[in-house]
Amino acid sequence: MELLDNITKSEDTTADVYSGTREALITAGLVRAEQFPPDGTLGISYYNGTPSKKRGVIDENYFRVEFVQKTWRVRVGVPQNIARARTIAANKARHARWSAQREAEHEAKSADKRKGEAEYARRLLKELPRTADSFRRNQARSMRDWIQIRLRLLGGERNGLCFDLDSIDAIGMAADAVVDAIMAADVKLDIEQQQLVIASLQVQAMAGEPSIVQKIAKLMRANASLLTGNPS
């Protein structure tokens, strides 16, 4: 806060702090020329108007002139009851900032988690079989992929043991028969269950949208107005 030309005022828990040039501070009556620290020193403290070399009680009788960060500062102590009130306020502000930071970090992690879950749900929705034929193809493809992996493993030596080529060919033919059986199988479709699964995935997919996230966050915030009123 600027008081006069080239002078600003700030506060810490124990003092009011006035910053400015040497001439501006003297002109404003905040300090006399002889109260500045001697040459070769950067600061001097006073208590009851007397120079004090020891750091003692800081109250309304405390006064300090110092040169910090290329500017002169005059620190005027405040009564201890005001200092206590400022300390309490500073602690509350610090706690509020810490809580806000933790909440922001938690929300960021939650948003990332929701985004990942939403992307996974959208992928499942895209890949979800909706008809008997697509269900068969999906299961056959999964079975074929698994069989190909197993056949590659069967052809390799494990602890000195492996299948011969004829056996692997026979297993491959049997596997093809399994895939053919899957493609020819009857499929029972439970429409109600399918709709429930689709609806659940759609909700999960929408949870990653920024507008939905903001609405959810708003709903999760405590509403102080709900806590007021007279008991019935």
3-48 residue pLDDT tens: 566 899 999 999 999 999 999 999 999 999 999 999 888 999 999 9
Beta-strand relationship, 15-20 and 7-11: antiparallel
- Kindly state the helix (H) or strand (E) to which residue 148 belongs, with its residue range: helix 132-154
Report field, pTM of the whole predicted structure over 0.75: no
User: Can you tell me which residue has the tokens 């040497």?
Assistant: 22
- List, in sequence order, every residue forming a beta bridge with 117; answer none if it has no partner: none
- Kindly state the helix (H) or strand (E) to which residue 67 belongs, with its residue range: strand 62-68
Residue 231: per-residue pLDDT: 45
168-226 pLDDT tens trace: 888 888 888 988 998 998 888 888 888 888 888 888 888 766 555 455 445 444 444 44
Q: Which residues contact 168 (CB under 8 A, 6 or more apart)?
A: 151, 154, 155
Question: In the structure, what pLDDT confidence band is assigned to residue 127 with cuts at 50, 70 and 90?
Answer: confident
Question: In the structure, what pLDDT confidence band is assigned to residue 146 with cuts at 50, 70 and 90?
Answer: confident
- How many CB atoms are closer than 10 A to CB 82? 17
